[in-house]
Structure 1
Amino acid sequence: MAGTKTTTGAPTDVTQKHNKGGIGESTLRPDGTLKVTGEFAYSSDMWHEDMLWGQTLRSTVAHAEIVSIDTVEALKVPGVYAVLTYDDLPAEMKNYGLEIQDTPVLAHGKVRHHGEPVALVAADHPETARRAAAKIVVEYRELPVITDEASATAPDAVLVHEGRTDEYIKHVPHPNIVHNQPIIRGNAEEAAKKADFIVKGEYTFGMQDQAFLGPESGLAVPSEDGGVELYVATQWLHSDLEQIAPVLGLPEEKVRMTLSGVGGAFGGREDISMQIHACLLALRTGKPVKIVYNRFESFFGHVHRHPAKLYYEHGATKDGKLTHMKCKIVLDGGAYASASPAVVGNASSLSVGPYVVEDVDIEAIALYSNNPPCGAMRGFGAVQACFAYEAQMDKLADKVGMDRVEFRQLNAMSQGTLLPTGQPVDSPAPVAEILRRVKARPLPPERQWESSEGADVRALPGGLSNTTHGEGVVRGIGYAVGIKNVGFSEGFDDYSTAKVRMEVINGEAVATVHTAMAEVGQGGITVHAQIARTELGVQQVTIHPADTQVGSAGSTSASRQTYVTGGAVKNSCELVREQVLEIGRRKFGSYHPAWATAELLLEGGKVVTDGGEVLADLAELLEGESVETEAEWRHRPTVAFDKKTGQGNGHVQYSFAAHRAVVEVDTELGLVKVIELATAQDVGKALNPLSVVGQIQGGTTQGLGVAVMEEIIVDPKTAKVRNPSFTDYLIPTILDTPTIPVDVLELADPNAPYGLRGMGEAPTLSSTPAVLAAIRNATGLELNRTPVRPEHLTGT
């Protein structure tokens, strides 16, 4: 049997309460132990008989004309099967991209950033492929580099992309601006005249890397029908498919994709990396081709978080009410568009933060430059804005003479508040409450490095380097709160598809869930099994490998998968339940009137009435039969923001998180130790409480990283990356990660399945400004950039 179901908004909520491992329980992840012990099979572990290895030659300069490419010596290397350049591409379509198809499969005419792919090699051994790639000779004629707003928008600026024809070019003041989004509401100029206090600030946000566990990798296998099978670590199988097939010159049905083990993503796998290259080499050689980036190449193989310059002005009355806000946000998108237009939309529409401000004048832009391409990363534009507006809140509270938390609570939005875009917040917005909770939490003890057994240097700035025993160490406390949208916005048709099958195997009723959702470590497969157990009353649930043989699940990003794909699984389960009950009505309806008249539920492998009367055993009922359904979940429609005013209902849902940071700062050496990052967050409904806490703590730690250590350094003169390794690009280790107590609120969103709220990104917003606020509190310094380095604290 089969059926289809599409729901916009919330479906009928039938929640079973007696199924072990169902919704609301802290069910353990099936992949957790394997990952911790190192036994999990990632995409880089794949192997195929007679497999070749692919290697990419990348540009050594950031902006240059390609004068010539000589591949003769590379082809002479024994073991080399193919060398490809732009001229060898098989299809008329030679570019790809998430929103704008501006990225060439291989560089053509010129290179636009350091590390851009120029040529490909396939060989019988990875070292052979690397040696052959090194023998390719590329002659460049270097061009001036665009590295910032001044060089990008000058009247005589060199264009990163000549002859643009994309939809955004009609609305931007300069061709080197990818997209700009103004938001005008009220009259900020007039409102400023009513302000008793005005504060201004200029903020700099560094380029952050997703630093995921597994580098880009995949295996392409040519198939007998002339197509290709691609096994790959990605965030969005169907988006990849739509970009890959045209440049291969194949129909989509001949490019079959299966998700392989993904070692984290955080936005860095939304864009194509090695997928097309592996397929091209496989189709050219007729052999399976595997590509695995090393960590150095990975820094060039995926997009990063947009670095930003942010210019803010706020005003307030003497009693602490915000009067107006003006801001300009300049995001550096690098050489190619990637998700920059959507990041601009998020940064602008969320630039006020979770506060009530009636009069605003906002502009956000993303630049084309010769810096590394930037795109999606956890928080997606809202992170950069939160860093600036929260620093402004502290400055303004101090000017007014109010407690910093009370000032925020006074101006906090709530359900019904209008955003700067004119859209009302139509679900709970407990901003004041989560601030109250983090402030009320007991502080960690002072001088906790001291004990009766002697000093524990791990609790001091500098840690095990033993730089201090407490001399010159000062404590600081800081607060921050943020707002993040959930799901895709601005008119994007955001939906997901799920198939669910129910049958009897070995005398037990079991379910299989099949979606294209990319499990990247967020725990979605665990939640899908919990939903099936809850809705179908079965205990055994199999999660089918994600592939393109089922409808799209959209991207594992924007905190959307549990909301949208979870909603699709729920819908499909409801269809299965109805068809199972229809089987019962057909078989037993004439014997028991409850089949026709009562609400029937599935619990514990039984069919029961709403009064708890058992009517049938599921396994007996389904013996010899099976039910399979396919359903979609579509969230409520959105609209694009007006290009001139920014007005419009562009978002679907919002999540809110607050942090309190406690830090110890060695003011003499400029070293920082974050002692605690307490957080409170509304998640609507915690479908898996253990996973919820893990997501919040993980996002908090990424925010900590960009606060005090993480930044990709790009030479401003050459636009070359200076630190593409984990030796020089630092990320928090367990020794850097503080205690992270989590306070979870569950205020249901009536428009979401189970009332849940996407929650994976919000903690990444507010943890960064909370840490900076605490360091400012300890040192008295302004500190208007991330990350904070020792020289910023000591003046050296």
Structure 2
Amino acid sequence: MGTTGTPTNITQGSRTSGGIGESTLRPDGTLKVTGEFAYSSDMWHEDMLWGHILRSPVAHAEIVSIDTSEAFAQPGVYAVMTYDDLPTDVRNYGLEIQDTPVLANGRVRHHGEPVAIVAADHPETARRAAAKIKVEYRELPIVTDEATATAPDAPVLHPGRTDHHAPHAPHPNIVHRQPIVRGDVEEARGRADVIVEGEYVFGMQDQAFLGPESGLAVPAEDGGVDLYIATQWLHADLRQIAPVLGLPEDKVRMTLAGVGGAFGGREDLSMQIHACLLALRTGKPVKIVYNRFESFFGHVHRHPAKLYYEHGATRDGKLTHVKCRIVLDGGAYASSSPAVVGNAASLGAGPYVIDDVDIEVIALYTNNPPCGAMRGFGAVQACFAYEAQMDKLAAKLGMDPVEFRQLNAMEQGSVMPTGQCVDSPAPVAELLRRVKAMPLPPERQWETTEGADVRQLPGGLSNTTHGEGVVRGVGYAVGIKNVGFSEGFDDYSTARVRMEVVGGEPVAVVHTAMAEVGQGGVTVHAQIARTELGVTQVTIQPADTQVGSAGSTSASRQTYVTGGAVKYACELVREKVLEIGRRKFGSYHPAWATAELLLEGGKVVTDGGEALADLADVLEDEAVEVEEVWRHRPTEPFDMRTGQGNGHVQYSFAAHRAVVEVDTELGLVKVIELACAQDVGKALNPLSVVGQIQGGTTQGLGMAVMEEILVDPRTAKVRNPSFTDYLIPTILDTPTIPVDVLELADEHAPYGLRGVGEAPTLSSTPAVLAAIRAATGLELARTPVRPEHLTGRA
């Protein structure tokens, strides 16, 4: 890992071992790799019932009748509930727009929509009972794309919309529309010496997390319920769950259970309300665990997209303008589609200086599966298209594709198409230089003295080739991603920090509602506490709703925002500890009277390192506790007509070089290497940072050549809801991923850090596509690439 730029260790406080900047190990790491970690699906409770959900077998239909009598009569069944059995008038939920029914209300809008729920004493009993529920459907015309959604006779999927996006939508089947207009594209077109156009298709992906949806709801004596759940945002779940149950929020107590990955798929509710309803109805604990088939229907996916781009450039390679239109398929319910639209629009021109911009992005309501958050969140789809356009322009101008990008790269001080100034480092040209300078992997690695090593060839262990017809290609891409919630969202986090003496040793206790979904936040919080409080022992309490909201584990925001909250709370605790020390020991040493005191290694020391007192002696029987809210600087909504506004708090950048080998006869691809260079501001935990970059890169590889949820355009039914047919990269598909990390501090962020996890997912996909194009000479305007696209048999 290489580093450059201004050092970003701007820590105030200690240099205790295990602090900021060190590669400390995860406390849950060993348990996870040995299979001992307790995931939400492992929970158990005495006298527990099992819940199951009956889902719609059709994508769009009127529910004529539901007969639950035969299901309820089955031995071992304790409850069967439909929409009519819900306890309150609040029967819909949603992250932003409350348009999703808890159970279908007279109409289903997508394949797999929940229709009824069952609780029984055994999971198979619950499944058999659900199968005995008789539902009569009258199928309705389906809406699957922009043409069918906006046709004059299109069925309106959500009539009578009253959400705040509805007045700006040109059709009721359009969830949200965001234009970004700056300069004069028509005038700029006249200055262009070359113009390239492209139409691109981006497939629907699944988050494919390890642990399917699961949770345990336990009814309480006070009439409330305790829910143990794998989620990304405890307090957002709480806000949606409590009204449906008819309970105040303080009677719905939520605790984070072990999460087996998320990637956006756990931002929306899945079985949370269903488990609570059944627990309150039966008076018994109820556990629900999806199988993988149910999981494909139980959470949102990445928005598929159609993207139409036009770019112009002068003969010397300067970009003149970009005009684009992006159509995102949001599926049956809104989820986070409005925010995804905002990201795709505001980042749709990429990390380039372009003065004249005309961008329009819309998200549709259709009868396809609901789509929402997934790693990259709108910026991924746009990056795939604008990077293909950069290669087209470079080829038409006869320029090196990396040099063309560097010529037009934004930097600190550049102005975004939204009018926002980029006021922190934006080393786009440097990232491209670094990734291009990395040594290329050797040619023909499959050749050995014993013959071909098929593991290194396209097709791998299927032994389809020994090198005949295999061509190498190299491709580059770079992307820009926002960090944190945007467009005026009140993005904050809460941290409670306590410092006390236990067994004669000072201990810090950190309590937040941050969802640890595998990103390593629990490790970073302990590092922050050690750094700021000078202690070795740090206890991270389980995340729950007994502390204020930490916001969502998404948008690469948790280290920035919840880390910022932990840092701020620790600073306040430190000041209180020093004040106690001043009261007790100030008369013994004049240094106590100054403010230049630090906590380090369990002691109070001067900034010169002179020890004044042990922390255990300072605190004795006292304890100091602080709970504080921390916000990053505010953002503002984009103008609904022009898209202008300071909509984002921070930007992150990554560049990739892909090296692929393609069997042009069989259409098989082997990605040999995906090198990455990324600016992270400050690597709080270098080992974890590299892991995040490699993980995001691997997901981008999957999007390039494997992953796509296939939906039948005639019926809107999902055709491949299992890992038998929905393919994700395995260790045999994962290439070498060398990483070059830059640390250029963002002075506005805690420790100068920059969100890490999403940026590498953007640029890895178009880099792979660029490499395949270089190997084959094909245009390849859709992702993922399949063998038939490479052999001409599509």
Question: TM-score surpassing 0.5?
Answer: yes
Q: How many Å apart are 1:675 and its aligned residue?
A: 0.1
In structure 2, what is the equivalent of residue 105 of structure 1? 102
SS of equivalent residue, structure 1 residue 444: coil
In structure 2, what is the equivalent of residue 783 of structure 1? 780
SS of equivalent residue, structure 1 residue 711: coil
In structure 1, what is the equivalent of residue 627 of structure 2? 630
Q: How many Å apart are 1:620 and its aligned residue?
A: 1.6
**Alpha-carbon distance between aligned partners in 1 of 2:420 and 2:595, rounded to the nearest angstrom:** 42
In structure 2, what is the equivalent of residue 701 of structure 1? 698
In structure 2, what is the equivalent of residue 646 of structure 1? 643
Q: How many Å apart are 1:452 and its aligned residue?
A: 2.0
In structure 2, what is the equivalent of residue 488 of structure 1? 485
Which segment drifts farther, 628-637 or 781-790? 628-637
SS of equivalent residue, structure 1 residue 582: helix
Query: Unpaired runs of 5+ in structure 2?
Result: 1-7
Is 1:86 paired with 2:83? yes
Once the two structures are superposed, the pairs formed by residues 394-543 of structure 1 within 5 Å of their partners are 394-543=391-540
**Alpha-carbon distance between aligned partners in 2 of 1:399 and 1:455, rounded to the nearest angstrom:** 38
**Match for 2:45: what amino acid?**
H
2:529–2:538 contact (8 Å) kept in structure 1: yes
2:14–2:532 contact (8 Å) kept in structure 1: no
**Alpha-carbon distance between aligned partners in 2 of 1:573 and 1:101, rounded to the nearest angstrom:** 37
**Alpha-carbon distance between aligned partners in 1 of 2:157 and 2:628, rounded to the nearest angstrom:** 44
SS of equivalent residue, structure 2 residue 447: coil
Q: How many Å apart are 1:15 and its aligned residue?
A: 3.4
Percent identity among equivalent residues?
85
In structure 1, what is the equivalent of residue 275 of structure 2? 278
2:173–2:365 contact (8 Å) kept in structure 1: yes
Specify which of 153, 157, 167 is matched with residue 156 of structure 1.
153
Cα distance change, pair 499–650 in 1 and its aligned pair in 2 (3 A): same
**Alpha-carbon distance between aligned partners in 2 of 1:350 and 1:669, rounded to the nearest angstrom:** 36
Once the two structures are superposed, the pairs formed by residues 60-99 of structure 1 within 5 Å of their partners are 60-99=57-96
Once the two structures are superposed, the pairs formed by residues 564-575 of structure 1 within 5 Å of their partners are 564-575=561-572
In structure 2, what is the equivalent of residue 6 of structure 1? none
In structure 2, what is the equivalent of residue 140 of structure 1? 137
1:598–1:610 contact (8 Å) kept in structure 2: no
**Alpha-carbon distance between aligned partners in 1 of 2:250 and 2:338, rounded to the nearest angstrom:** 30
SS of equivalent residue, structure 1 residue 571: helix
1:348–1:362 contact (8 Å) kept in structure 2: yes
Q: How many Å apart are 1:420 and its aligned residue?
A: 0.4
**Alpha-carbon distance between aligned partners in 1 of 2:276 and 2:713, rounded to the nearest angstrom:** 35
Q: How many Å apart are 1:17 and its aligned residue?
A: 5.2
Specify which of 743, 754, 764 is matched with residue 767 of structure 1.
764
Specify which of 783, 789, 793 is matched with residue 792 of structure 1.
789
1:598–1:609 contact (8 Å) kept in structure 2: no
SS of equivalent residue, structure 1 residue 140: strand
Is 1:656 paired with 2:653? yes
In structure 2, what is the equivalent of residue 331 of structure 1? 328
**Alpha-carbon distance between aligned partners in 2 of 1:503 and 1:637, rounded to the nearest angstrom:** 34
In structure 2, what is the equivalent of residue 3 of structure 1? none
**Match for 1:768: what amino acid?**
T
**Alpha-carbon distance between aligned partners in 2 of 1:328 and 1:631, rounded to the nearest angstrom:** 43
2:225–2:276 contact (8 Å) kept in structure 1: yes
**Alpha-carbon distance between aligned partners in 1 of 2:413 and 2:121, rounded to the nearest angstrom:** 62
SS of equivalent residue, structure 2 residue 342: helix
Instruction: Spell out, residue by residue over 1:340-377, the C-alpha distance to the aligned partner (whole angstroms, 9 max, x if none).
Output: 00000000000000000000110000000000000000
Is 1:173 paired with 2:170? yes
Is 1:114 paired with 2:93? no
2:452–2:467 contact (8 Å) kept in structure 1: no
In structure 1, what is the equivalent of residue 602 of structure 2? 605
**Match for 1:761: what amino acid?**
E
In structure 2, what is the equivalent of residue 183 of structure 1? 180
**Match for 1:181: what amino acid?**
Q
In structure 1, what is the equivalent of residue 5 of structure 2? none
**Match for 2:447: what amino acid?**
E
**Alpha-carbon distance between aligned partners in 2 of 1:467 and 1:173, rounded to the nearest angstrom:** 51
1:488–1:651 contact (8 Å) kept in structure 2: yes
Specify which of 717, 724, 728 is matched with residue 727 of structure 1.
724
1:48–1:288 contact (8 Å) kept in structure 2: yes
SS of equivalent residue, structure 2 residue 383: helix
Once the two structures are superposed, the pairs formed by residues 544-559 of structure 1 within 5 Å of their partners are 544-559=541-556
**Alpha-carbon distance between aligned partners in 1 of 2:722 and 2:213, rounded to the nearest angstrom:** 15
**Alpha-carbon distance between aligned partners in 2 of 1:574 and 1:173, rounded to the nearest angstrom:** 50
Specify which of 185, 189, 193 is matched with residue 190 of structure 2.
193
Q: How many Å apart are 1:453 and its aligned residue?
A: 3.3
Query: Unpaired runs of 5+ in structure 1?
Result: 1-10
Q: How many Å apart are 1:455 and its aligned residue?
A: 1.7
SS of equivalent residue, structure 2 residue 126: helix
2:14–2:530 contact (8 Å) kept in structure 1: no
Instruction: Spell out, residue by residue over 1:479-515, the C-alpha distance to the aligned partner (whole angstroms, 9 max, x if none).
Output: 0000000000000000000000010111100110000
SS of equivalent residue, structure 1 residue 725: coil
Instruction: Spell out, residue by residue over 1:609-649, the C-alpha distance to the aligned partner (whole angstroms, 9 max, x if none).
Output: 11111100111211111110112210111111000000000
In structure 2, what is the equivalent of residue 5 of structure 1? none
Specify which of 280, 291, 296 is matched with residue 294 of structure 1.
291
**Alpha-carbon distance between aligned partners in 1 of 2:588 and 2:733, rounded to the nearest angstrom:** 67
**Match for 1:500: what amino acid?**
V
**Alpha-carbon distance between aligned partners in 1 of 2:105 and 2:594, rounded to the nearest angstrom:** 69
Alignment RMSD (CA, Å): 0.9
**Alpha-carbon distance between aligned partners in 1 of 2:34 and 2:684, rounded to the nearest angstrom:** 26
**Alpha-carbon distance between aligned partners in 2 of 1:227 and 1:494, rounded to the nearest angstrom:** 29
Q: How many Å apart are 1:597 and its aligned residue?
A: 2.0
In structure 2, what is the equivalent of residue 367 of structure 1? 364
SS of equivalent residue, structure 1 residue 677: strand
**Alpha-carbon distance between aligned partners in 1 of 2:509 and 2:456, rounded to the nearest angstrom:** 48
**Alpha-carbon distance between aligned partners in 2 of 1:201 and 1:632, rounded to the nearest angstrom:** 46
Instruction: Spell out, residue by residue over 1:426-452, the C-alpha distance to the aligned partner (whole angstroms, 9 max, x if none).
Output: 000000000000101110000000122
Number of residue-to-residue matches in the alignment: 786
**Alpha-carbon distance between aligned partners in 2 of 1:51 and 1:693, rounded to the nearest angstrom:** 42
Q: How many Å apart are 1:549 and its aligned residue?
A: 0.3
TM-score, normalised via structure 1 length:
0.98
**Alpha-carbon distance between aligned partners in 1 of 2:14 and 2:473, rounded to the nearest angstrom:** 46
Is 1:679 paired with 2:676? yes
SS of equivalent residue, structure 2 residue 599: strand
